[in-house]
Structure 1
Amino acid sequence: MKVRPDVAAPAQRGVWAYLPDAPLEGAGGGPLSGLTFNVKDLFGVEGWPLHASTRAPLPPVPQGPLVTRLLALGAALVGKTHLHEIALGISGANAFGGTPNPLDAARVTGGSSSGAAASVALGLTDFALGTDTGGSIRVPAAWCGVVGFKPGKGDPAWSTDSVLPLSVTCDHAGPLARDLGTVLRVQEALTGQAAAPRSWEGVRVGVWHADGWLDDQARGALLAAAATLESLGAVLTPVQLPDMLDAYSDIVQSEAAAVHRGALARPEPGFTPGTLALLRRGAGLTDSEVRAARDRRDAYRALLDERMTGLDVLLAPAVPCAAPLQGQDSVALPGGPVPLRVAVLRLTVPFSMLGWPTLALPHRTPDGLSVGVQLVARPGQDAALLGLARTLPA
């Protein structure tokens, strides 16, 4: 067995957390036969180590139903990919050096599903399993130029059982792939539900322009996507959403601290300083502070429902700009520099915190990088959302 083989393959640096001598073969004749996949190193796989890209001790995680089901459907499991340490971050940084962006190695891949996005962008597997708590599938998908799908919360086909949690109330599992067709094939095989092609004619689309939160490239991608939908017959309406990070941060950090309470009780927990600071903050929140954050989440849920009244789908930006340089901790936006975490998560958090199915589609920029947009549907409308995406121009 080979662990962290990055040094043997420079182009794959930072991608593989674990690579066995041979893949776990899928069952023959299944609907996913012939496809290969990898899993973010939060998923338990029998006989394989799990480190979550940290040097801290972790609770045990057995193999769960999602990995078992994909193998039964015929896909072959190749290995495990690196992530932002314990999934608590958006850049892809971890205790092993992080994952360079496949489009420009000087830039971050995005997180927390950094190795997952890079692996499919590099063509190492057909699809990857990631997790998304606040944007962890959608952000690296946009920055690496691939497709990412965050199913609606609670979909049994995309079980998070036997996945090392970050936030039990916000975590989702989902696929990343180079193309939408592969995402559709995996989704249909897992759910047994066809994402039948749907016309955009008459579809009522809310467009979240996120005024002041995007640079020119991200804004251009959003406007281009809106123009495409309008040309297909969609009816567009502007929608505005607030920054929901106040609720999200307290919920996620408190839940993450509970998951990692064992490591936090040690004199040397083993986390990198940035991760440790967030976990200590979460552990220090009072019960009343966490309840207040959950109350704010309920209010945001009601607000999103109200803003989507009379609408079928929401179009939103996926990222505020192209991937920043390694080590860059803020991004330049129209109102001035904004901390990277804030600039990114305020665009993606609403749909994971509230559990709405969301598809991230990349948009290449003239300089060879990538931004992207999100298509968002109401809970339970995963197949309808993907059916609409199926009829978008290639």
Structure 2
Amino acid sequence: MSDPASPTGRPDPQRAWAFLPASPLPGAPDGPLRGLSFSVKDLFGVPGWPLRASTRAPVPDPGVSPLVERLLALGASAAGKTHLHEIALGITGLNGFGGTGHPTLPGRVPGGSSSGAAVSVALKQVDFALGTDTGGSIRVPAAWCGVVGFKPTKDHPAWPTGGVLPLSVTCDHAGPLARDVATVTRVHEALTGHAAPPVPLDGLRVGLWCPAGWVTDDVRAALLDVTDTLRRAGATVDPVEFPEVLDAYSPIVLSEAAQVHRAALRLDDPGFLPFTLASLRQGAALTGAEVQAAHGRRATYRAQLDDLLTRFDLLLAPAVPTPPPAQGQDEVLLPDGPTPLRRAVLRLTAPFSLLGAPVVTLPTRTPFVGAQVIAPHGQDDRLLGLAQRLERTLETP
């Protein structure tokens, strides 16, 4: 296969696939995930498969992913590797091989960085997809492609990030995307070995985080529809406040990404796209004191989130500020005014990867607009149980 950007054997107008083998890697015939197929974001090391991270630049070898090996042992088959936003440093799907398009809206972005993962699920090419999430990279494409995304608690033993090319060791997570919560839950239960049954919504205390001016009117209306659904099911929903965390997130992620790609940065022209290269060089220029200060701010934000999650069972938040923007669009118009797209998106999603809390992103009744459901650290099973019940309730007319 000469060009991983144009794998043969399957029409791929969205450029979702980075590598398709002659035949899938088969899963164990008697495993609990037998019959399911999955795609692998091209950051995971798979023996015999190339790893390019959707860039023309050289990248380090992370070794073999134990998560991929575990899923195969549990019976799922691996269909191939999917494209991502270059080295996972972005939220639209742009990369060194032309970028990935939206599964059903030509000219619109699918979200990133797990862009091909979301597209492969939305188009029913696989049952679930392996993605990574450093600042929203599972949740944003899930929302904009109309599928479910799950970012587990940071360092969850069932979802290891070993054998995955890192972006930020502080913020990186591995997790799945699927068309429904039931599939995500089935995979999670197989990996953990215990059940995550549906949990009633009655009596839940839900904190609604939807900062004024940060989302378009249709996104706000979609989220309020979810809150109305929760209230009708017996939950209480009250507004909460939480700060923007990008002053901690950006220095940490960029400095750690620059360390990962330090060998390529020594080259005069490493092959990164201009924005990626500029971001990595910005990270490399940060001083130790600046990064340490960012970690101090992160600790403050973690304490604030922990306090919120002692007063509420769940937080509900928008996953994206707008419906899918146009390819090449770098600014969105929000009630607060024109806002850079990257900031508009990340300020909604980055808090929960920076701080490691588990999150499920669910489709809402408004197409291609998702809602984040956030739980306390370590309550992944209960979160999935609640998400199953909420998904079913939202599907009821």
Q: Using the TM superposition, give the Cα deviation of residue 7 of structure 1 relative to its aligned residue in structure 2, in angstroms.
A: 7.5
The Cα offsets for residues 347-368 of structure 1, whole Å up to 9 and x where unpaired, read as 0011000000000001253xxx
Residues 145 and 364, structure 1, Cα contact 8 Å, conserved in 2: no
* Cα distance change of structure 1 residues 12 and 120 upon mapping to structure 2, 3 Å threshold: farther
Q: Using the TM superposition, give the Cα deviation of residue 309 of structure 1 relative to its aligned residue in structure 2, in angstroms.
A: 3.2
Q: Using the TM superposition, give the Cα deviation of residue 12 of structure 1 relative to its aligned residue in structure 2, in angstroms.
A: 4.1
Which residue identity is paired with 1:145?
G
Paired with 1:309 and 1:156, the residues of 2 have a C-alpha distance of: 24
Choose from 367, 384, 387 the match for 2:385.
387
Tell me the secondary structure at the aligned position of residue 364 of structure 2: strand
Paired with 1:58 and 1:327, the residues of 2 have a C-alpha distance of: 25
The Cα offsets for residues 69-109 of structure 1, whole Å up to 9 and x where unpaired, read as 00000000010000000000111100111111012021001
Aligned to 1:325: 326
Paired with 2:189 and 2:129, the residues of 1 have a C-alpha distance of: 16
Residues 6 and 12, structure 1, Cα contact 8 Å, conserved in 2: no
Paired with 2:356 and 2:114, the residues of 1 have a C-alpha distance of: 18
Which residue identity is paired with 1:243?
E
Indicate yes or no: 2:171 matched with 1:173.
no
Q: Using the TM superposition, give the Cα deviation of residue 193 of structure 1 relative to its aligned residue in structure 2, in angstroms.
A: 2.1
Output aligned runs, 1:286-301, within 5 Å. 286-301=287-302
Which residue identity is paired with 2:376?
R
Which residue identity is paired with 1:121?
A
Aligned to 2:281: 280
Tell me the secondary structure at the aligned position of residue 310 of structure 2: coil
Indicate yes or no: 2:128 matched with 1:124.
no
Tell me the secondary structure at the aligned position of residue 227 of structure 2: helix
Tell me the secondary structure at the aligned position of residue 67 of structure 1: helix
The Cα offsets for residues 181-214 of structure 1, whole Å up to 9 and x where unpaired, read as 1111111111112112211111111111221101
After TM superposition, which residue ranges in structure 1, 4 or more long, deviate above 6 angstroms? none
* Cα distance change of structure 1 residues 144 and 197 upon mapping to structure 2, 3 Å threshold: same
Output aligned runs, 1:183-262, within 5 Å. 183-262=184-263
Residues 6 and 13, structure 1, Cα contact 8 Å, conserved in 2: no
Indicate yes or no: 2:371 matched with 1:373.
yes
Paired with 1:185 and 1:328, the residues of 2 have a C-alpha distance of: 37
Q: Using the TM superposition, give the Cα deviation of residue 390 of structure 1 relative to its aligned residue in structure 2, in angstroms.
A: 1.6
Task: Identify the range of structure 1 (109-118 vs 5-14) with the bigger mean alpha-carbon deviation.
Answer: 5-14
Paired with 1:309 and 1:33, the residues of 2 have a C-alpha distance of: 39
Aligned to 1:83: 84
Task: Identify the range of structure 1 (253-262 vs 264-273) with the bigger mean alpha-carbon deviation.
Answer: 264-273
Residues 7 and 20, structure 2, Cα contact 8 Å, conserved in 1: no
* Cα distance change of structure 1 residues 370 and 266 upon mapping to structure 2, 3 Å threshold: same
Paired with 2:217 and 2:156, the residues of 1 have a C-alpha distance of: 36
Q: Using the TM superposition, give the Cα deviation of residue 307 of structure 1 relative to its aligned residue in structure 2, in angstroms.
A: 2.7
Residues 5 and 19, structure 1, Cα contact 8 Å, conserved in 2: no
Q: Using the TM superposition, give the Cα deviation of residue 240 of structure 1 relative to its aligned residue in structure 2, in angstroms.
A: 1.0
Q: Using the TM superposition, give the Cα deviation of residue 8 of structure 1 relative to its aligned residue in structure 2, in angstroms.
A: 6.6
Tell me the secondary structure at the aligned position of residue 112 of structure 2: coil
Residues 53 and 84, structure 1, Cα contact 8 Å, conserved in 2: yes
Task: Identify the range of structure 1 (75-84 vs 96-105) with the bigger mean alpha-carbon deviation.
Answer: 96-105
TM-score calculated relative to the size of structure 1: 0.97
Residues 170 and 353, structure 1, Cα contact 8 Å, conserved in 2: yes
Paired with 2:215 and 2:136, the residues of 1 have a C-alpha distance of: 16
Paired with 2:320 and 2:363, the residues of 1 have a C-alpha distance of: 10
Paired with 2:365 and 2:87, the residues of 1 have a C-alpha distance of: 29
Paired with 1:243 and 1:167, the residues of 2 have a C-alpha distance of: 19
| Number of equivalent positions | 391
Aligned to 1:340: 341
Paired with 1:73 and 1:357, the residues of 2 have a C-alpha distance of: 23
Give the % identical residues: 63
Paired with 2:58 and 2:328, the residues of 1 have a C-alpha distance of: 26
Paired with 1:355 and 1:63, the residues of 2 have a C-alpha distance of: 24
Aligned to 2:26: 25
Paired with 2:333 and 2:57, the residues of 1 have a C-alpha distance of: 34
Structure 2: runs of 5+ lacking an equivalent: none
Paired with 2:212 and 2:310, the residues of 1 have a C-alpha distance of: 21
Aligned to 2:272: 271
* Cα distance change of structure 1 residues 188 and 59 upon mapping to structure 2, 3 Å threshold: same
